[in-house]
Structures are given as structure tokens and as C-alpha cells.
Amino acid sequence: MTHAWNQLLPRLQELADLNSTAALLYWDQAVLMPPKGAAGRARSTATLESIAHNRLTDPAIGELLNELAAEDSLEESQRATVRILKREYDRATKLPDKLVKELAQVTGVAYQAWTEAKPISDFAAFQPHLEKIVELKKEQADAIGFERERYDALLDMYEPGMTSTEVEAMFSQLTEGLAPVVDAVLGRAREDHEFLRGEYNDGAKEQLCRWLVEQLGFDTEGGRLDTSPHPFTSGIGLGDVRQTTRYANVGLMESLYAAIHETGHALYEQGLPAEWRDLPAGQVPSFGLHESQSRMWENQVGRNRCFTDWLLPHLKELFENELGTATPEEFHRAVNQPQRSLIRVEADELTYNLHIALRFELELALFRDELAVADLPDAWDEGMEKHLGVRPKSHAEGVLQDMHWSIGIQGYFPTYSLGTLYAAAFFAKAESELDGLTDDFRKGDTSRLLEWLRSNIHSKASLYEAKDLAEKVLGGPFSATPFVDYLKDKYRELYDLSI
């Protein structure tokens, strides 16, 4: 190892520890912290993020990076670390410490305000918090800089190199490819699967989810499953990956598929190389790639006919009265039921990306100064009617349904759609290389798929940019075609359609 690398490494370890502590504080706020702790927690996280920002922007790191960039004897993980850290350093040095600290403090309080405003459907109570966040995020984007769109500076934080223009093109391609499928399927899908709308015991739902995430490969000795108002997953540190779902006030399938979705994230975190844990190269290269794992496990696995055939008998053991008469065919159609849903996290595969398109349009309008925060509820309702043909009856099922804006991650939503496209492409590739893959699911065996993901994606961490890694895995350019083909095949079989 070079002298410069030996000097950089302890700084990276310190940054990793600071980030790990911040992640733990955020997890605690969402899962365990009493409501009155919001103000104190906001100050604590703001102080911690300020310290981390100061450590990252130390000029000594810039000097070490310049020295290492000229080295030709670095290992692959070291070269990737220098590339990623240089990008983070350049961006961080453009941000004033005061702004970093204020953003952390404001979002800490805003998240708590959101948790209180959503249950009573009171956007007015949350509005001043969101107005302050948007103001600070504009300052952040302006400080970082951008070529064409202010929003690009925010999008780049989650999907490096991605631009608003590319996102608009992605949604255009999706809309064009899905339009005939959506029209045909929604015109045919009129079943009302009443057995999924019963009162399912929360304790039994929890028992089911805890069993299922282990069946999928989640290591409970290296992680936890808890509850929170909005399901999420956080890699706290080496050997500590935490995911959440929810049981109260949602149906059986909502709890179940939220747990499967988050397990996809958690498996990715648990599959990252332990030896690179302190290095930027040891992290996930983009949030779109992270979403590809959760979307794949939720949909390509969790809603696959072979998997639902295996799952149903286990569900009947816990919910015999509610599901005792459901046939495998009825159950499979029920969990793949397309509908014009109001809630993103409950949306089916066919309409899910329309929910994301709406959020992208609203965020873009906010950061183009074309839309005021005060006008978001009406804009949301109108957008839902345009995209999905339904209109929310309350702020809780409309503009307040997601936590993302309360924690200041504007620019994140497009990664959900990108992840959806990655998921379909990766799964198609895995199927082509693993004979009889979906037959494994009839036995509840997903180990071969997990091994394939670990070998091709998880173990690579951030050695490559997300787009480059996708092309290496797929053996060619990445596109929306596998996703559109996957939906056509699924719904053609479900509804006997000629699409």
C-alpha cells in the first residue's frame, strides 16, 4: 500500500463510523424514539452531520486524492474509492457547513411533523416545514451547481450522472410501451378478491413476515426486522442491517409485500464485501441499483406464479378462516390485481411507474419555481386524476402519503422507476443463465437467485458506475424493453389477452 493510501484509510474509517452513527440515529427516530424527542434528535443529527462534513472537506483529503489519482499501482477497490471519494469531496466542498447543519436540523423536525400530520390528514401543519426544506434544497442545488436543470444537482446525489432529460425520456419510453398494455388489462381486470380485504391479525402478520424474510435469505443474526410508519431499510454498519415493515392499518398483502420489498434491499446490504465496508467502493453505486433488488424480490419473485403457489399453503396455516377457500389461481390473480390505486406502495406493477411520474413532475416544477409548496395538494390531486384516473379524498392518501420530502431527499423518486427497469432486465438475465430458476420457487427455494445476485451484483459493490455494472451484467446496453416484455407476458397469461 502506498503512503498516501495509508494516510487516507483512517480518515475513511472515521467517516464510515460517523455515517454509521447517523444512520442509527435516523433508524431510532423512525422506530423507537418518543415523539417529544424530535427537537433534541434534530440537533444531535445536525451536529453529527456537520462533523462528518468538516472531516470530508478537510483540504488534506483533497491533497491525498490528487496524489492517489496519479498512482498506477492501486488495486481495483482503491481506484474505485479514489474515483467516488473525489466526486463526494468536490461536491461537499461546495456546500457551506451552515447549510449542511441547517438541513439536518430542519429535516429532523420535519420528519416528526410528517408522522403527526399524516394520520390526521393535515397538510397545513406540515407545509411550513416542507417550505423550509425546499428553500434549503434549492440553496444546496445552487451551491453544488448544474448545467441545465437545478433538479439535476439533486438527482445526481442518488443516481450519479443521471439528468432530468434522461428521466423524462425514460418515462416517455415507459408510457409509450405500457399504454396499450394498461388499457387492455385495466379494461379486463374487474375481479374483486374479497378474501384479501378481511381483518387479519397483526400479530399473525408479524409472525408471517419474520418467517418469510428468513426464508428469502435474510440473516437475522446480522440484521433486524422492526416496524415504522413507512417501511425502509438501513445498513447501519458491518453485521447490522435493519429493515422495517408495518402491520397496523394495512392489509395482509401490504405487510407481506412491504417485507419482501425491504428484504431485497437488506439482502443487497448483507451481500456487500465486508473487507471494503469502510471504503466508498464498498457501498452501493446508485439508489436505482438498490431499488432494482427490492423491486425484483417483490415482483419478479414475490408475485411469480410458482412462488405464490408455494406461499399460499403457508398463509392458510395462519389464516385458515380468511384464506381457506382461496385456490392457487385465485390467489395468484389477487396479488397481481391491477387497479387505479391511490397509494404508491400498494400499487401494482402495471401502474406503479405512473405514481413515480407524478412525483417527478411535481418535484421538477418545485425546483423550476413553477409550483409553490402551498399548491402541492391540488397539483397532486390533479396529477393523480391525469395519470391514474382517481382523485384522493384526503391529504393522507394524497400529498402526505410518502415520507421522502420530510427527510429532504428530493430527487430520489425517479430511482424507483429506474430500479424497476433494472430489476426486469437482471431477472431475465438470471433466468437465461439458471435453468429452471422459477421451478425452484415452487419449493420456496430462492437460493440460486440470491447466489447469482451476490456473484454478479452485490459482490461488485461500487467497483463500477451503476450503468457500467448493468451493462457488464447484461452483456449489452440497458433498456426498458425487458420490463415491458415481462408485463406483456404476465398479463397476457393472466387475462388471456393478445398484447
What amino acid positions are annotated as catalytic residues?
A: 262
Q: Where are the alpha helices (DSSP H) in 389-436?
A: 414-433
> What is d(CA 477, CA 485) in angstroms, rounded to the nearest whole number?
16
> What is d(CA 111, CA 97) in angstroms, rounded to the nearest whole number?
21
DSSP for 51-98 reads HHHHHHT-HHHHHHHHHHHT-S---HHHHHHHHHHHHHHHHHTTS-HH
Yes or no: say if 472 and 464 are a contact pair by the CB < 8 Å rule.
Answer: yes
Q: What is the CA radius of gyration of the chain?
A: 22
> What is d(CA 148, CA 389) in angstroms, rounded to the nearest whole number?
32
Q: What is the dihedral of CA 234, 240, 267, 91, to 10 degrees?
A: 40
Neighbours of 133 (CB within 10 A): 21
Residue closest to 33 by CA, chosen among 385, 24, 217: 24
Half-sphere exposure in the Cβ direction for 355 (13 Å, CA): 24
Characterize 180-214 residue by residue with b for buried, 16 or more Cβ atoms within 10 angstroms of its Cβ, and e for exposed: ebbebbbeebeeeeebbeeebeeebbbebbeebbe
Sheet of 240-245, strands arranged across: 223-227, 240-245, 233-237
Yes or no: say if 178 and 350 are a contact pair by the CB < 8 Å rule.
Answer: yes
Find the helix or strand (DSSP H, E) in which 237 lies.
strand 233-237
Half-sphere exposure in the Cβ direction for 213 (13 Å, CA): 34
Tell me whether residue 373 is exposed, middle or buried, using C-beta atoms within 10 angstroms of its C-beta: 0 to 12, 13 to 18, 19 or more.
buried
> What is d(CA 218, CA 266) in angstroms, rounded to the nearest whole number?
7
Neighbours of 70 (CB within 10 A): 7
Residue showing cell 424497476: 420
> What is d(CA 332, CA 304) in angstroms, rounded to the nearest whole number?
8
**Cell numbers representing residue 260 in the block:** 419482501
**Cell numbers representing residue 371 in the block:** 409550483
Tell me whether residue 360 is exposed, middle or buried, using C-beta atoms within 10 angstroms of its C-beta: 0 to 12, 13 to 18, 19 or more.
buried
